[in-house]
Structure 1
Amino acid sequence: MKAVRFERFGGPEVLEIVDVPDPHPGHGEVRIAVRAAGVNPSDWKKRQGLMDEELPQTLGHEAAGVVDELGEGVTDVALGDRVFGFSAEEGAQAELAVLAYYAPIPPSLDFAGAAALPAAVETATRALDQLGVGSGGSVLINGASGSVGSAAVQLASARGARVIGTAGPANHEYLRSLGAEPVAYGEGLVERVRALAPDGVGTALDVAGSGVLPELIALAGGAAHVVTIADFAGAREHGVRFSRGDSGRALHVLGEIGGLIESGRFAVPAVRAFPLAEVAEAHRASENGRGKLVLVP
Structure 2
Amino acid sequence: MISGASGGVGSAAIQLAKARGAKVIAITSPSKFDEIKSLGASQVISRHDDIVEVLGKSSINVVIDLVAGEAWGKFLEVLKPKGRYAVSGAIAGPIVELDIRTLYLKDLSFFGCTVLEAEVFGNLIKRIENKDIKPLVAKIYPLENIVDAQKEFLKKKHIGKIVFSI
TM-score normalised by L of structure 1: 0.44
In structure 2, the residue corresponding to 1:165 is in which secondary structure?
A: strand
Distance in 2 (alpha carbons) for counterparts of 1:228 and 1:160: 21
Distance in 1 (alpha carbons) for counterparts of 2:151 and 2:53: 37
User: Pairwise CA RMSD of aligned residues?
Assistant: 2.8
Structure 2 partner of 1:67: none
Alignment pair present for 1:167 and 2:28: yes
Structure 2 partner of 1:188: 50
Greater than 4 Å deviation, 4+ residue runs: 287-291
CA spacing shift, 1:144–1:251, aligned 2, 3 Å: farther
Alignment pair present for 1:282 and 2:149: yes
> What letter corresponds to residue 252 of structure 1 in structure 2?
E
Alignment pair present for 1:294 and 2:156: no
Shift of 1:151: 1.2
**Identity across the alignment (%):** 25
Unaligned runs of 5+ in 1: 1-139
Distance in 1 (alpha carbons) for counterparts of 2:125 and 2:27: 27
Whether the aligned pair in 2 keeps the contact of 1:223 and 1:238 (CA below 8 Å) is no
Distance in 2 (alpha carbons) for counterparts of 1:145 and 1:280: 21
Shift of 1:253: 2.8
In structure 2, the residue corresponding to 1:254 is in which secondary structure?
A: helix
Structure number with larger C-alpha Rg: 1
Whether the aligned pair in 2 keeps the contact of 1:157 and 1:163 (CA below 8 Å) is yes
Whether the aligned pair in 1 keeps the contact of 2:69 and 2:95 (CA below 8 Å) is no
Shift of 1:286: 3.9
Whether the aligned pair in 2 keeps the contact of 1:143 and 1:167 (CA below 8 Å) is yes
Q: Which has the higher helix share?
A: 2
Query: For structure 1, which segment, 158-167 or 181-190, has the greater mean C-alpha deviation from structure 2 after superposition?
Result: 181-190
In structure 2, the residue corresponding to 1:258 is in which secondary structure?
A: helix
Whether the aligned pair in 1 keeps the contact of 2:51 and 2:78 (CA below 8 Å) is no
In structure 1, the residue corresponding to 2:148 is in which secondary structure?
A: helix
Structure 2 partner of 1:205: 64
Distance in 2 (alpha carbons) for counterparts of 1:173 and 1:251: 35
Q: Larger RCO: Structure 1 or Structure 2 (Cα < 8 Å, ≥ 6 residues apart)?
A: 2
- Count of paired positions: 152
Cα deviation per residue 1:208-267 (whole Å; 9 max; x = unaligned)? Answer: 224222222121125862233325421x6345736253xx32443321223222332212
Cα deviation per residue 1:165-202 (whole Å; 9 max; x = unaligned)? Answer: 111221111121111121223343222224xxx96111
TM-score normalised by L of structure 2: 0.73
Alignment of 1:130-169 (within 5 A): 140-169=1-30
Whether the aligned pair in 1 keeps the contact of 2:86 and 2:113 (CA below 8 Å) is no
Unaligned runs of 5+ in 2: 104-109
Structure 1 partner of 2:135: 268
Distance in 1 (alpha carbons) for counterparts of 2:20 and 2:74: 25
In structure 2, the residue corresponding to 1:252 is in which secondary structure?
A: helix
Shift of 1:153: 1.0
Distance in 1 (alpha carbons) for counterparts of 2:164 and 2:82: 39
Structure 2 partner of 1:214: 73
